[in-house]
Structure 1
Amino acid sequence: MSISPARTPAGAPAATAARPAIGWRPKFLLLALVWGTSFVFIGVAAQALDPIQITLGRMLTGLLPLAGVLLLRGGRLPREPRIWLHLSVTSFFLNVVPFTLFGHAGQLIPSALSGICNAATPLFALVFSLVLLTDERPTRARLTGLLLGFVGVLVVFGVWTGFAGAGSTGMLLAVAAALCYGIGTPYLRRFVAGSGHTPLELSTAQLLAGSVQIAVAAALFTDAPGAVPLPVIGSVVALGALGTGLAYVLQYAIVREAGATVAATVTYLVPVVAIAAGVLLLGEDLAWNQPVGALVIIAGAALAQYRPRRARR
């Protein structure tokens, strides 16, 4: 669910100026809704399927709409082995591992809490961007935002109560998934950006590479599921077709029409939607510190991503 700078199409500023500003707002809200409710679908699917099976179903059903759009637009997949190697690594960190970790977390903690832990993604992305990208520099605002964000993570965990129990394990798994997003995003920007392929072509190839990886893992480590309830099947299809396939298409449109900076702010709405969806749709209960910690994380992420107007230009 992470927005990568590598997916920004060439010439995005010019496209932004050429399109009416009102056009991207419904897509922005729809993307926040799709990604925020994904954690509900993960929680439902985790009731009957192994996390690896959830990931496999999600990636295959996410690949289909992207491949369809790519075919309609006359795009092509990369042919260079080097690009496929880097996309395989990217898919490992942005799809295969985090999807599976969120599946495990969905068996242990409420879906809303998974969404809250996912809010730490921009913080981890910034940490690894400072390590992997030469054009990223630490500033006082960024370091303060990182510190504030990780204080928010500790508040979500309720560190004053200890770390024992399934809930803490589930939160650690969810935070580890956010950590993977944080690694994959700057990796994608450094090693795949500028390859000459469009974001749609690269993301379709990324899901294809990840689908192969998770299919091998499913064959080796899981057994074929028995009778799967219809709500579980629907949740997996929604995760892939909406939370992965449609979400990528919406993301491209927002980046093209409003710019990458605006598109990245959808991260701040996702935990809010996840909390509302978990409480309203699944009747989940949250301790007071969890939504409070989410607000602290969002504030820290916003501060860490802030750049003065002169720097943005």
Structure 2
Amino acid sequence: MSRAITTNPTTPAPAPTPTTSPPHRFPALDWRIRFGVLSLIWGFSFLLIKVGTQGFAPFQVTFGRLLFGTAVLAAALAVKRERLPRGTRTWGHLAVAAFLLNALPFSLFAYAELTIPSTLAGICNATSPLWGMALSLVALSEDRPTRVRVAGLGLGFIGVLTVLGAWQGFHGLDTKGTALALLASLSYPIGWIYVRRTLAGSGHSHLSLSGAQLLLATLQLAVVTPLFTSIPDGLPVGPLLAIVALGALGTGFAMLLQYGLVAETGPTTAQMVTYFIPVIATIAGVTLLGETLTWSTPVGAVVVLAGAALTQVGTGRRARPGRSAGAFPQEGPSDVVVAPLPPTRDVARPGTPETPAAADASTTSAWQPDAPHTPTANRHPTGAPRPSVPHHERADKS
């Protein structure tokens, strides 16, 4: 007996599941290219300062630099929809950090380059790791001296004396301008130590703190500049463009570029850019500004960089899992280290599969001084390595 086959008209047939390929993601720009771009930007910063002071007063150069740098970070904050930090205590510490890491050293370098060549300013800037180690041995109990690091410190300062031509009685050297440049380099490690003691683990993102710090530094210069300078008679195009580039590229964009490098390669690799800055600054000053060199300048610069490198020996092996040594690398590219970076965990955005619900209040920070150099982007928020992802599915990390 045949049976009629019927279908329920009220039950729609299931639609076929579409098979869609994942959207194409463009690969991130190779970190070596970004490293080279960062080295060029920071190496040319001293040339841009020199050009800027040819048309504007040093305080005006510094104010413009901070103003355009703040504008870049403000745009980044708006794109990422991040807010500035809250809390009177945090803003008070940021005001001190802004003075020590931005307003003071930027102004000192601008005044120094009125009387010294940009090449010498770039070399003086490379002494910051030496000052940083010397101060950390006194102010930071977790930094223990070793024979190699102490030897590097001594070698570095021998290099400084070589650059300055000490055996000639500093003949032909503008001592005031050189002293201002060295004081600017000393200001950075003082600011680093202050931030490590006051802002580490503040619970705010590094971008938020950086934006607030540059904003405060800009306000400080906005108050000081009218008191010590007059309105320029005109706006010379060359110096004005130099200031715009110095702020937008050398301060704002370079900072964002550096964050990406630290997250991908670790702080030790990222801070190696420090050793390229005086080389590029020297080449730029000689070829583009016609500055002259004596034999002692490049020889002394090599000795300074060798000493600075020795002061870093062993710093990457002192870390323990979960330890945060401070707000940002103890020795970085001095002239442009402009922001405290709290050592908080790297947490993915809310809504992603790997994000715990309770982690939404956490913030990210790429800087983990002396931490193991596993790229932050390759680790799960719990600390375990993430599973490998096919190349075509990786997000652009730049």
* Aligned match of 1:209: 216
Q: Which runs of 5+ in 2 are unaligned?
A: 1-26, 320-371, 373-398
User: In 1, Cα distance between the equivalents of 2:316 and 2:70?
Assistant: 37
Within a 5 Å distance, the mapping from 1:224-263 to structure 2 comes to 224-263=231-270
Q: How many residues align?
A: 294
User: In 2, Cα distance between the equivalents of 1:277 and 1:105?
Assistant: 18
- The amino acid across from 2:287 in the alignment is L
2:194 alignment partner, one of 167, 187, 191: 187
Within a 5 Å distance, the mapping from 1:79-94 to structure 2 comes to 79-94=86-101
Q: Is the 8 A contact 1:133 1:190 kept in 2?
A: no
* Aligned match of 1:142: 149
* Cα deviation code 1:49-79 (max 9, x no counterpart): 1111111000000100111001111111111
Structure 2 counterpart SS, 1:249: helix
Within a 5 Å distance, the mapping from 1:221-300 to structure 2 comes to 221-300=228-307
Q: Does residue 69 of structure 2 align to residue 62 of structure 1?
A: yes
* Aligned match of 2:78: 71
* Aligned match of 1:47: 54
Within a 5 Å distance, the mapping from 1:94-105 to structure 2 comes to 94-105=101-112
Percentage of pairs with the same residue: 51
* Cα deviation code 1:249-296 (max 9, x no counterpart): 011001101011111111101001101111111121111101111111
* Aligned match of 1:17: none
CA shift in 2, pair 1:261/1:219, >3 Å: same
Q: Is the 8 A contact 2:108 2:180 kept in 1?
A: yes
Give the drift of 1:127: 2.0
Tell me how large the CA RMSD over aligned residues is. Answer: 1.7
* Cα deviation code 1:222-268 (max 9, x no counterpart): 11111121001001001100110011101100110101111111110
User: In 2, Cα distance between the equivalents of 1:170 and 1:288?
Assistant: 20
* Aligned match of 1:3: none
- The amino acid across from 1:65 in the alignment is V
CA shift in 2, pair 1:61/1:308, >3 Å: closer
CA shift in 2, pair 1:210/1:269, >3 Å: same
1:31 alignment partner, one of 28, 34, 38: 38
Larger proportion of helix:
1
User: In 2, Cα distance between the equivalents of 1:310 and 1:117?
Assistant: 28
* Cα deviation code 1:114-139 (max 9, x no counterpart): 10111101111222222333321122
CA shift in 2, pair 1:240/1:308, >3 Å: closer
Give the drift of 1:26: 1.2
Structure 2 counterpart SS, 1:107: coil
* Aligned match of 1:132: 139
User: In 2, Cα distance between the equivalents of 1:153 and 1:81?
Assistant: 41
User: In 2, Cα distance between the equivalents of 1:100 and 1:204?
Assistant: 19
Q: Is the 8 A contact 2:43 2:278 kept in 1?
A: yes
* Aligned match of 1:162: 169
* Aligned match of 1:178: 185
CA shift in 2, pair 1:149/1:166, >3 Å: closer
User: In 1, Cα distance between the equivalents of 2:49 and 2:74?
Assistant: 23
Pick the structure with greater CA Rg.
Answer: 2
Compare 194-203 and 133-142 and name the one that shifted more.
Answer: 133-142
CA shift in 2, pair 1:289/1:165, >3 Å: closer
Q: Is the 8 A contact 1:125 1:183 kept in 2?
A: yes
User: In 2, Cα distance between the equivalents of 1:205 and 1:213?
Assistant: 12
Give the drift of 1:185: 1.7
- The amino acid across from 1:75 in the alignment is E
2:124 alignment partner, one of 117, 128, 131: 117
Normalised to the residue count of structure 1, the TM-score between the two structures is 0.90
Normalised to the residue count of structure 2, the TM-score between the two structures is 0.71
* Cα deviation code 1:286-308 (max 9, x no counterpart): 11101111111100000001117
User: In 2, Cα distance between the equivalents of 1:275 and 1:205?
Assistant: 33
* Cα deviation code 1:158-183 (max 9, x no counterpart): 11122466623221111111011121
Q: Which has the higher contact order (CA 8 A, sep 6+)?
A: 1
